[in-house]
Every structure is written in C-alpha cells, then in structure tokens.
Amino acid sequence: MSKNSSDSYGEAQKGVLRMARVNCNYNRENTSLRKKRDSMGNDIYESGKLCRYGKIPGLEKPVSRMIFGTAIGPMIEGKNADELLDAAFAKGINTFDTARGYGRAEESLGGWMKRRDNREQVVVISKCGNCDSDGSVCVNRKVIETELLESLQALQTDYIDIYLLHRDDPKTPVSEMIDTLNKLEKTGKIKVFGVSNWTHERIEEANRYAKEHQLQGFSISSSHFGLAEQVADPWGGSCVTITGKQNQAARNWYQENQMPIIAYSSLARGLMAGRIKSSQEVQAAEILDSFCVKGYVCHDNFERLARCEELAEKKGCTVSQIALAWMFRQDLNIYVLVSTTKAFRLEENLRAFTVELSEEESRYLNAGCKATAFMSK
C-alpha cells in the first residue's frame, strides 16, 4: 500500500471499531506526526480518539502507539486497578505492557480483562527472563517455557499477543531462544515475539539464524529511548538504551530496518513529566527517585528540559507533551510506553499526538543546535 492510500482497516475486535489507514502526516483534527513510517505502510486511527495505532508484523490486532505500563505500585502489589485500566482503555489505549518480573501486575491485569470480558480487544505484552537481584540473567528454553506458563495462568488467558525476552543471556545461543519461541508460537500460546534490552547486533545475529533455518525471527524490540539521554543503567541489570551519540549506530539500524520499538522510560522516570523544573537541578536528588537520579540526572538533560519548558509555554501545552511529541517526530517506528497512577495523566499524555513540532524545533530540543534565533521571534 502506498503512503498516500486510504482504505478500511476492517472491523476491529467484536466488530465495533472501524479502523482506517491514513497518511503519516495526519492532516486532520490538528494532529501532525510528520515522520516516515514502517514498511507496513501508515498508522491507523479510530475516529474520535486521540490515540493512534500501528501494525506489528504477524499480529492481526492494531497496537496503540501509546502503551500503558503496568509496573506501577498498585498493580505490582496485585491490587484492583480497574478504574485506571478502564480509563486507559476508554481513551483508546488497547495495549498493556507487563512482565513476570513485575510482582503481581500480571494478576491485576488478568483480573481486569476477566471482569470486563475484553480479552480479544486487548493487546497484551509480557516478558520472561528478567535479571535477578544480583544482576545475573538466565534466559534459556526452560526459563522461557516455565515463565510463559506462569504468565498465562496469572493473566487468565490462553495466549499472549507479544512475548518478549526481558533480557539477553549471552550464555544461551540465539538458536536455542529462536527455536523455543517458534515452537511456542506454533502452539498458539504466543502470537508474536521479540526482545527487550538487546543490542541491535544481537538481534541481527538471532534473525540471521532464523532466516537461515526458515524460522520466524524477532519482530519487535523494547529499549530505552526518549528526549532525555540515559547516562547510566538505572537498575544495573543490563538495560539497553539507544539514546546518546554513542548509540547513533543503533538508531541508524532501527531507522533503516523500521523494526518496531517499544520505548520504555520515555519520560525519564519523571524528569520530563513535569515533576521537576529546569531551575531545580541542584535539588534533583530530593525531588526525583534514586533510579531517575542515577539514570538521567545530568546537566545536558536539564538543558533539554529547559528547552521543553520554553516550547511548552510557546505552544500552550505541557513539558511531557513536548517530550512525547518529539519522540513521535523521529524517523523511528516508535511505540511509547507510559505509566501512571492518575487517570488524568493519560489524557495529558495522549494530547501529545496533537502537538506539532517543526524539524527545526525537534533539532533544538535535543541538541540546542545554536538555533535560538527562531525561538525569540
């Protein structure tokens, strides 16, 4: 399908949502995401909703470009989060990210789907093989198979839409992982599989093996990406970021291949979410949590925050909306992962889809580019 074509995406789950492919410029309802899209074509939208959707190869359901992350206190503790999940779903977010390593979040999400009888309308992302408390990682056939069964039980479902390996385990050959995941896909227990916190070189190695053996390779990857550069691993568990000059090769690879990216910590654990002002850099350790301080607090990021504040004031929006709009402005096949315990934040984040950034503004936000002249006009 050409980028300028427009057709019906078909009836969505239970035949009630009519979807349509649209040009990636989104010249409708003040929404503009001027960026190249993946090889599948263009984004899709649901009439009347702010949220936008993409297509993951091998998955029939549309996937919301904004994904709700369940690694939040109430859900980790297994508490009822129906009100919050209802709010996300009502606003068009149909994709929920969880993991075996997120306490009882899978149980919380599974209970909600059961009570709402909406499993076929929801895209579930879950993961196996997280790092242990000492930072060690074990991802092999036994771990994958065992944790998948545990996740299915916790989620009260017989399949997972997108199944990710939470970490890479260099001790395990990629052949063992690919073979195991293909076997599980054939049983119908997983629809699509991918990785989290893998380098692009390791993904290439695995997909090369898959191609040589006529198997399905990894279709999607989750890593850190956002306007704020990750300057250190916040958790010390082999996290992978594609921010910073040192990771330009990784971004080039993702841009060239247009592999879908689920970008976690997209707002740098609150640094770009309005929790702190650029003038409060010296108070950062008192305002932000220790993971944010370790991973994202540096002068360059506070300079980026200041530019976000500047543009937010100019455009009449929030800092988080500017930071998220910047992400969607990149030539990457981005799905943004956001987490919150407050329903009103969901609406605020979704309005990032309505924020227009010029190419010059996008460059200015990330690097300054000595482009202050246009800001003073």
Nearest to 220 by CA among 254, 260, 160: 260
Residue-wise pLDDT for 121-150, tens only, equals: 999 999 999 876 566 788 999 999 999 999
Q: What is the pLDDT of residue 130?
A: 80
Angle at which helix 174-187 crosses helix 141-155, to 10 degrees, equals 40
The predicted model scores a pTM of 0.86
Which residue ranges form the domains of the chain, and what is each CATH number?
62-376 (3.20.20.100)
Res. 40 pLDDT band, cuts 50 70 90: very low
pLDDT > 60? residue 35: no
Give the chain's mean pLDDT.
86
Report the distance separating Cα 95 and Cα 360, nearest Å.
Answer: 32
Please name every residue paired with 192 in a beta bridge, in sequence order, or none if there are none: 162
Residue-wise pLDDT for 307-318, tens only, equals: 999 999 999 999
* Mean pLDDT across 350-355: 96
Residue-wise pLDDT for 206-257, tens only, equals: 999 999 999 999 999 999 999 999 999 998 768 999 999 999 999 999 999 9
Res. 23 pLDDT band, cuts 50 70 90: very low
Res. 368 pLDDT band, cuts 50 70 90: low
Other beta carbons within 10 Å of 73: 12
Pseudo-torsion of CA 71, 73, 79, 81, nearest 10°?
Answer: -70
Percent pLDDT > 90 in the chain is 80
Q: What is the pLDDT of residue 354?
A: 95
- Answer whether 70's CB lies under 8 Å from 105's CB: yes
Report the distance separating Cα 195 and Cα 249, nearest Å.
Answer: 18
Tokens 């949590």 correspond to: 289
- Answer whether 230's CB lies under 8 Å from 241's CB: yes
Tokens 């936000």 correspond to: 365
pLDDT > 70? residue 377: no
Higher-pLDDT residue of 23 and 135 is 135
Residue-wise pLDDT for 267-318, tens only, equals: 999 999 999 999 999 999 999 999 999 999 999 999 999 999 999 999 999 9
Report the distance separating Cα 189 and Cα 202, nearest Å.
Answer: 25
Name the pairing type of β-strands 63-64 and 66-69: unpaired
